[in-house]
Amino acid sequence: MKNFTIYLILFFFLVVSKVIGQETFESEAKRIANKIEKITKEEKETLKEEVEAVNVQLSEGKITQEQADKRKKELAEARAVIIEEKVTLAQNELNDLVQKKVDGKIKEDSAKIYMIRWKSYSHHKDSIRSEKRTTSQFVFAMGLNNMLADGKLQDSNYKFMGSHFYEWGFTYNSRLMKNDNLLHAKYGLSLMYNNIRPTDNRSFVVDGEQTNLVENQVHLTESRFRNVYLVVPVHLEFDFTRPIERNGKTYFKTHKSFRFGVGGYAGINVKSKQILKFEEEDLKYKTTIKGDYNVNNFIYGLSSYIGYRELSLYFKYDLNPLFQNNLVKENNISLGLRVDLN
């Protein structure tokens, strides 16, 4: 719930900043967003260099393919942890900024004067950027998460409202045709968090190659299983934003009207852990158990979204099962809201 709160605050801030047009507030938030983007790009580049070094060792015969795959996974996990830690610090800055706004510590400029300046600035900025065929966006999404087996939702095994997903990342949006704004290629890098909460006081227990849901002897106040993935999403986006004619020139913008995207994603599992909470004799306990749980090391699936301007309804479905060798094949399915911010 802590991470959900952070993203809700972020969403609240983005909406409020557009409505009231507060210069101090927006400039600080933009600085934090740029910091998050910089962190992700730098760590991505570092990971790319590290993976390339492993490929060199593999090509020279110094390590085997199995050793190379294992090393690449370890590097990806390490970079994911670093990104998560650094971004958390930036998110804390955002929390402080929002709290200052709530407490009235950020002085407001004249809304009327600011809006005139902002419209003038936006007009100038759009006229410069509208000719770019590739733009970038910060993306985050959240919603309900569950499992499908034989085409049936496993809501008897996993809490329907208690299981959730969230995702954040960066994408590039490239207009495919020079003189038409309909088709765009959308691609990027995301961290995807899938959470499921078992029902009936159960948790996951590994039995050889099987991962089973087993009832606990103590009463659990929470049982949550989380998997974190580093994925590359790719979508074909249909954007119905109309071009603008100005001074004899045609300008193409994005995310100003209805749009929808179809595509998929592929990536690797960087972390699996189970979180158990219970109480005994007025004492509260929390146990976090990390392991592979026989979870598939790779993930790939289909995803789609449809919406208006920045906000969309978002659907995704894993084509491969969560666990590698379980007798019952369960595939992750998610439905929620997605925000793409230029």
Q: Tell me, what's the pLDDT at 102? A: 60
- Cα(307)–Cα(310) distance, rounded to whole angstroms? 8
Q: Tell me, what's the pLDDT at 300? A: 97
- Cα(310)–Cα(291) distance, rounded to whole angstroms? 37
Q: Tell me, what's the pLDDT at 126? A: 45
Length of the chain: 342
Q: Tell me, what's the pLDDT at 35? A: 79
The tens-digit pLDDT sequence of the chain (342 residues) is: 444 444 545 555 554 444 444 456 667 777 777 777 788 888 888 888 888 888 888 888 888 888 888 888 888 888 888 887 787 887 777 777 666 766 666 544 444 434 444 444 444 444 434 457 889 999 999 999 999 999 899 989 999 888 999 999 999 999 998 888 899 999 999 999 999 999 999 999 999 999 999 999 899 999 999 999 999 999 999 999 888 877 777 778 888 899 999 999 999 999 999 999 998 878 888 889 999 999 999 999 999 999 999 999 999 999 999 999 899 999 999 999 999 998
SS (H, E, C) the chain: CHHHHHHHHHHHHHHHHHHHCCHHHHHHHHHHHHHHHHHHHHHHHHHHHHHHHHHHHHHCCCCCHHHHHHHHHHHHHHHHHHHHHHHHHHHHHHHHHHHHHHCCCCCCCCHHHHHHHHHHHHHHHHHHHCCCCEEEEEEEEEEEEEEEECCEECCCCECCCCCEEEEEEEEEEEEEECCEEEEEEEEEEEEEEEEECECCCEEEEEECCEEEEEECCCCEEEEEEEEEEEEEEEEEEEECCCCEEECCEEECCCCCCEEEEEEEEEEEEEEEEEEEEEEECCEEEEEEEECCCCECCEEEEEEEEEEECCEEEEEEEECCCCECCCCCCCEEEEEEEEEEEC
pTM above 0.75, yes or no: no
In this structure, the number of other CB atoms found within 10 A of the CB of residue 79 comes to 20
- Cα(50)–Cα(99) distance, rounded to whole angstroms? 39
